[in-house]
Structure 1
Amino acid sequence: MAMKVISFCLLIAIGFLSYDIWAGRNGLKQYEEISANLLKAQQQSAKLQDRNQAVIDELNDLKQGNTAIEELARTELGLIREDETFFRILGDK
């Protein structure tokens, strides 16, 4: 009889501990959620680092001289020099 009680208590303890490992605080479920959040944060961080590097590169170009300023004026503002001729090519329509 005593052996059955001890076995039952051990079974209950094993059940409680396994539940705590799988679904309890700091369990597998929480680990998977934190891992997913970490992956999202790392991806967002990589995007922000790329954007920061692009801004740093553009600042360095602007500090180097007029070539970068001229390139920005041509691409973003559509400016041309006085001695240049502007050609606009239309599609088939």
Structure 2
Amino acid sequence: MKIFAVILVIIIACLGWQTYNGRNGILHYRETEQKLKAASANTERLQRRNQALEDEISDLKQGNRVVEELARSELGMVKQEETFYRVIEKEEKTSPSK
């Protein structure tokens, strides 16, 4: 009877180990779940980026105002009859800490 109990305990221990560490065990499930969350977050980020690019493309196709705005903001372009003013804000003087 003792041998039967020892064998039974060994079998239960092996099954428990397989359930936790086995091929489709709990650890494998958790790793796969984390990879899925990371992939989902990356997919969502890329979808937002693609939507922004699609919006920008549709704006560019619709008119010259958007092209002019992009040229002014990104390239610093100015029309011939315009005067360019650059405003530089003063830095506040901070007192030395004691």
**Which TM class, normalised by the smaller chain length?**
0.7 to 0.9
1:16-56: CA deviations, max 9, x gaps? Answer: 10000011111111111111111111111111111111110
Q: How does 1:4-83 map to 2 (within 5 A)?
A: 4-83=2-81
**RMSD, matched Cα:** 1.5
Amino acid at match of 2:31: E
Amino acid at match of 1:30: H
Aligned length: 91
For normalisation by structure 2, the TM-score amounts to: 0.83
For normalisation by structure 1, the TM-score amounts to: 0.87
Greater helix share, structure number: 1
Q: Shift of residue 64 of structure 1?
A: 0.7
Percent identical across equivalent pairs?
A: 44
Q: Give unmatched runs, 5+ long, in structure 1.
A: none
